[in-house]
Amino acid sequence: MKTKMRMAGIMLAAAALLAACGSGDNYKTTDGGVLYKFEKQNKDAQQVQEGDVLVGEMTVRFDTVQTFTNVGHADRILQADPNFFLYEGLVMMHVGDKATLAVEADSLAKYLQPNQLPPFYKPGTGMKIYYEISLQDIVTKDELAEEQANFFAEMQQRKDSEPDDIAKYISDNNIKVKPTADGLYIIVKKKGKGPKVAAGRQVAINYTGCLLDGTMFDSSVESDAKRGGLDQPGRTYEPLTYTVGQMSLIRGWEQGIMGQPEGSQLQLVIPSALGYGSQGAGQLIPPYSPLVFDIEIVSVK
């Protein structure tokens, strides 16, 4: 199966991964000014066409400074978009090719913001941006369109099934509380006796977050994280401390803890509309995912 693409990664490689090695000899130039040199050509293999996505390894350098590489971890790296500055070079490539493509840094600088250029960039000095590409596979324009159509169909199915999925979780777990008008379930497992959570107060909260099927995606509690098989290298396990109203959190969390006293232990069942919605969050929380948070309000100041 071809490596799954992250469109944001493609755009990043296309515009912000400015890189290349210094100028060199034996380069040819396309009509549009793209420098190219092939180390290996496989002209009998599949050739890149407009709209295709390249799969392979790439190293990007700005003059002599490497700014990106995925060597050893082939992935979808670039798309053959006619508006992309390397387009003429990309559509020359075949599966199995190894090539270096380059452009003059000055020719790109006029289209970029100053913060998109490295601090060592010096206009008028002939610096070049080089992309060393080893092409291992191609996702065609048609395959990409089918993949995207399947993705949107899956997301629509997840959206449509969410109410039933939540209802089943509530039934299976014998939850008797009624949801709020927004569909949030607040299950109080232990009622605290301290000051209540309110805007402007500093709170410390331990939490563990899961999907409805029990898949854990985050925890501030080390024993929970180990139980859930979370890989959180370098994580310091301690309560999350913040000032209520001054930190961006999902709405279900904010609504669920508001007015709850210090020492309380809660479970929140949060519909995706009060969570991460149609975007999801990273690899662990797909779009339209209801969330379950086990929360302990350690302190309210």
Q: Which residues pair with 300 in a beta bridge?
A: 203
Q: Is the pLDDT of residue 75 over 90?
A: yes
Q: Is the pLDDT of residue 24 over 90?
A: no
Cα 139 from Cα 7, distance rounded (Å): 13
Q: Is the pLDDT of residue 16 over 60?
A: no
- The alpha-helical segments, DSSP class H, found in the chain are 7-11, 87-90, 105-109, 141-172, 222-227, 251-257
pTM score, whole prediction = 0.68
- Which pLDDT band holds residue 264 (cuts at 50, 70, 90)? very high
- Separation in Å, CA 239 to CA 227, 234, 258: 18, 15, 17
Q: Is residue 272 part of a domain?
A: yes
Mean pLDDT of the residues in the chain: 90
202 and 296 both lie in a single domain? yes
pLDDT of the residue at 10: 41
| pLDDT-wise least confident of 161-165, 218-222, 232-236 | 232-236
Q: Is the pLDDT of residue 97 over 50?
A: yes
31 and 68 both lie in a single domain? yes
Q: Is the pLDDT of residue 197 over 80?
A: yes
Cα 93 from Cα 91, distance rounded (Å): 5
167 and 257 both lie in a single domain? yes
Look up residue 148 and give its two tokens.
């995207």
pLDDT of the residue at 112: 80
Look up residue 13 and give its two tokens.
């490689």
Q: Which positions ≥6 away from 103 have C-beta within 8 Å?
A: 20, 33, 34, 35, 85, 86, 128, 129
Q: Is the pLDDT of residue 260 over 90?
A: yes
Q: Give the mean model confidence (pLDDT) for residues 15-27.
A: 49
- Which pLDDT band holds residue 60 (cuts at 50, 70, 90)? very high
46 and 84 both lie in a single domain? yes
| pLDDT-wise least confident of 3-17, 51-65, 196-210 | 3-17
CA 176, 270, 227: angle at the middle one, nearest 5? Answer: 90
Which residue, 139, 172, 187, sits at the end of a domain? 139
- The alpha-helical segments, DSSP class H, found in 77-140 are 87-90, 105-109
134 and 210 both lie in a single domain? no
Q: Is residue 154 part of a domain?
A: no
Instruction: Quote the domain boundaries for residue 119.
Output: 7-139
Q: Is the pLDDT of residue 13 over 90?
A: no
Q: How many domains does the chain have?
A: 2
Q: Give the mean model confidence (pLDDT) for residues 248-261.
A: 96
pLDDT of the residue at 18: 39
CATH number of the domain at 13, please: 3.10.50.40
Q: Give the mean model confidence (pLDDT) for residues 108-116.
A: 80
Per-residue pLDDT tens digits for 132-166: 999 999 999 999 999 999 999 999 999 999 999 99
What proportion of the chain, given as a percentage, has pLDDT over 90?
A: 80
106 and 198 both lie in a single domain? no
Q: Give the mean model confidence (pLDDT) for residues 109-127.
A: 85
Q: Is residue 149 part of a domain?
A: no
- Which pLDDT band holds residue 203 (cuts at 50, 70, 90)? very high
pLDDT of the residue at 70: 96
pLDDT of the residue at 25: 61
